Amino acid sequence: MFKKILIANRGEIACRVIKTARRMGIATVAVYSDADARAPFVRMADEAVHIGPAPAAQSYLIADTIIAACKATGADAVHPGYGFLSERTSFAQALADEGIAFVGPPVNAIAAMGDKIESKKLAKAAGVNVVPGFVGEIDNTEHAVRISAEIGYPVMMKASAGGGGKGMRLAYTEQDVREGFEAVKREGLNSFGDDRVFIEKFILNPRHIEIQILGDQHGNIVYLNERECSIQRRHQKVVEEAPSPFVTPKMRRAMGEQCVALSRAVGYYSAGTVELIVSGADPTGESFYFLEMNTRLQVEHPVTEAITGIDLVEQMIRVAAGEKLAFAQDDIGIDGWAIENRVYAEDPYRGFLPSTGRLVRYQPPVPGWQDDGAANGRRGIDGVRVDDGVFEGGEVSMFYDPMIAKLITWGETRDEAADKQVAALDAFEIEGLGHNIDFVSAIMQHPRFRSGALTTGFIAEEYPDGFHGAPASDDLRRSLAAMAGFLATARADRARRVDGQLGDRLDPPAAWSVLIDGERFAVELQADLVTVDGTAIGIDMEYTPGDRLVHADIDGDALTVKVDALRTGFHLTTRGASHRVDVLPQRVAPLVAHMIEKIPPDLSKFLICPMPGLLVALHVGPGDSVEAGQPLAVVEAMKMENILRAEKSGTVKLVNASAGDSLAVDAIILEME
């Protein structure tokens, strides 16, 4: 077994590998850029080596620097994690040349399956179903337009070396191809050093299902069931679960055996994932097609670990050390259900724009039940796992992926795992930048998600006008009204007691007028009894003004709420939405109608940069006429290109930026007449 492993990665996956290596008694080495000098994975490792500036192209993607770190520390193996150099054949070969073990598959397998164009040719030759498309290199935009017309719309354009949702564009028309082809080439070149693109037919009502493969160097290969990854945004996975609610035992066996056969054809060992696209329109579930094989550990591997009890990182290390698998296919079962949500630094209320900055507050939910003060009084949840690599006070940088953490829950049933997600997301505290916690909570509660009727179009279909928060039921609004009355009373009582400012005989109001989502409630508190519109509500909670997270038991149901105090009430965030709650004494509430409403300024004539990023392209100049919806500029942030379009027709008056400029959030790019 290895004595020391270097992790050629960063963030949560570096932390994940270090934890398993430590349990196995293996020393670890971290490599880090300038931006990661204070990161948790650097502190967790036994040794750490600085490898360069923040941009990945100057640090994590330089193989020679990482190999030098191996030599300097005496590391006898490298775990690449995912992304960066994990599927770079030249890196794996360079390690082999230096006598350093690569904790991953053989070079020939990476070469065969890492190139999407070549892998499709190989899969087709092996008799595996592949999606109809053009398997070859595309010369230019005109060539792409001709190919797309021959295949038939809609089509998917993909960077050959792409992954992680980058370098992908869905085209429904010729105009989509003309607008998107060059962007796919640029994203492929910038993220993977390869600008080749291929085009294939887009399967209608598609489900994205993948099979986890694990093999050793002695010819043993097994499949560890499937994961459903259909809920995606811009081809980036958001929610993953295992098993799939769509896959039958017969289908699971057919998929698994086919994926094992493909892996065997390329001499595969270590962990890998075969991604499949499945037609949800086929009631038999037999129409599945090979998409690609990821020759590395997947971001979503924890859900497979949760239902099989197999530590995939440990198995990768043991396989790399030459050990045989200790189990066979018949030993692998399915225990319960697991769901993973990716917590991203993006703002779903602003069109999912990337959000960078400092984590002013970061408190993930506590796994397990904590009632002994060990978790500072924070309530834990059984069946919860959080994989992260950030810390309170740290910064989410524009140089890397926007994922903050992965939240994994396990339950005996799918509904139980989803319920635990909702509860854990309510207890997840992030302040300082935008995040998608409300959004993924809303998905967990969505009737369509609960039914299992998923496709890769779920988000676009269910939120066509953007995300505005999860809808609140009548019962939830009444519960929040009761809580608001309780919170307001506690705040008023504290004001009365602090330094005797209001006098000892001035009691807080007992009757409150509470306004939530445009609906007004009459809340009264008498001793331990709370009534909302005359109906008694049983409420058990404690609150001290200044508390950020409040746990309540309302009519027997647990509810966790984030509380932000306002002058006239609170922002209460729970169950996938933030509610402004105005709370006033009932005798004062009628006066609100006489207050002057402040009208926000009209900013529609400005093109404003929605996130910090690089202005890649500017398509118009002063005096140009534009139409509503016309692309005006392209801004790159967190390795993704974002097209900014005109909100309305008009003429460009002034241009305040040039291609190549680094822009701050809310910077004015141009102004219309």
* CATH (domain of 195): 3.30.1490.20
Cα–Cα distance, 628 to 630 (Å, whole number): 6
Half-sphere exposure of 118 (CA within 13 A, CB side): 11
How does pLDDT run across 74-88, given as a tens digit for each residue? 999 999 999 999 999
Helix axes 312-320, 11-23, angle to 10 degrees: 70
Task: List the single range of 132-141, 391-400, 434-443, 604-613 with lowest mean pLDDT.
Answer: 132-141
Domain-located, residue 112? no
At 502 the pLDDT is 53
Domain-located, residue 54? yes
At 590 the pLDDT is 77
Residue 215 shares a structural domain with residue 197: no
Q: Is the pLDDT of residue 141 over 90?
A: yes
Residue 605 tokens, joined:
């004539």
Q: What secondary structure, in 3-state letters, does 513-533 show?
A: EEEECCEEEEEEEECCEEEEC
How does pLDDT run across 535-583, given as a tens digit for each residue? 999 999 888 888 999 999 999 899 999 999 998 899 999 999 999 999 9
At 372 the pLDDT is 40
Could you tell me the CATH number of the domain that includes residue 356?
Answer: 3.30.470.20
Residue 10 shares a structural domain with residue 92: yes
Q: What is the largest CA-CA distance in the chain?
A: 87
Could you tell me the CATH number of the domain that includes residue 13?
Answer: 3.40.50.20
Could you tell me the CATH number of the domain that includes residue 660?
Answer: 2.40.50.100
- Please indicate whether residue 118 is annotated as part of the active site: no
Residue corresponding to tokens 């770190």: 69
Residue 314 tokens, joined:
């440990």
Domain-located, residue 264? yes
Residue 246 shares a structural domain with residue 300: yes
Residue 243 shares a structural domain with residue 307: yes
Residue 184 shares a structural domain with residue 212: no
Mean pLDDT of 274-297: 84
**Distant-in-sequence, close-in-space partners of 239: CB < 8 Å, separation ≥ 6:** 229, 231, 339, 340, 341, 342, 440, 443, 449
Residue 270 shares a structural domain with residue 370: no
Domain-located, residue 50? yes
Domain count, the chain: 6
Q: Is the pLDDT of residue 378 over 90?
A: no
Domain span including residue 661 = 606-672
At 375 the pLDDT is 40
Task: List the single range of 146-150, 508-512, 558-562 with lowest mean pLDDT.
Answer: 508-512
Q: Is the pLDDT of residue 448 over 70?
A: yes
At 496 the pLDDT is 65
How does pLDDT run across 297-313, given as a tens digit for each residue? 999 999 999 999 999 99
At 39 the pLDDT is 96
Which secondary-structure segment (H or E) carries 112? helix 107-114
> Of 567, 594, 621, which residue constitutes the final position of a domain?
594
How does pLDDT run across 210-268, given as a tens digit for each residue? 999 999 999 999 999 999 999 999 888 999 999 999 999 999 999 999 999 999 999 99
Residue 559 shares a structural domain with residue 653: no
Mean pLDDT of 4-17: 98
Domain-located, residue 401? yes
**Distant-in-sequence, close-in-space partners of 162: CB < 8 Å, separation ≥ 6:** 116, 168, 187, 188, 191, 192
At 487 the pLDDT is 93
Mean pLDDT of 427-442: 96
Cα–Cα distance, 377 to 550 (Å, whole number): 11
Catalytic residue among 87, 210, 275, 292: 292
> Of 541, 565, 594, which residue constitutes the final position of a domain?
594
Domain-located, residue 467? no
Domain-located, residue 119? no
> Confidence band (pLDDT; 50, 70, 90) for 354?
confident
> Of 594, 620, 648, which residue constitutes the final position of a domain?
594
Q: Is the pLDDT of residue 602 over 60?
A: yes
At 371 the pLDDT is 41
> Confidence band (pLDDT; 50, 70, 90) for 362?
very high
How does pLDDT run across 186-219, given as a tens digit for each residue? 888 887 788 888 898 888 788 999 999 999 999 9
Residue 52 shares a structural domain with residue 95: yes
At 249 the pLDDT is 94
Cα–Cα distance, 24 to 32 (Å, whole number): 23
How does pLDDT run across 450-505, given as a tens digit for each residue? 999 999 999 999 999 999 999 999 999 999 999 999 999 888 877 666 655 555 55
Domain-located, residue 381? yes
Could you tell me the CATH number of the domain that includes residue 521?
Answer: 3.30.700.30
Residue 98 shares a structural domain with residue 42: yes
Mean pLDDT of 108-113: 93
Q: Is the pLDDT of residue 521 over 90?
A: yes
Residue 195 shares a structural domain with residue 266: no
Cα–Cα distance, 168 to 187 (Å, whole number): 8
Task: List the single range of 347-361, 543-557, 626-640 with lowest mean pLDDT.
Answer: 626-640
Residue 527 shares a structural domain with residue 478: yes
Residue 39 shares a structural domain with residue 90: yes
What pTM does this model have?
Answer: 0.83
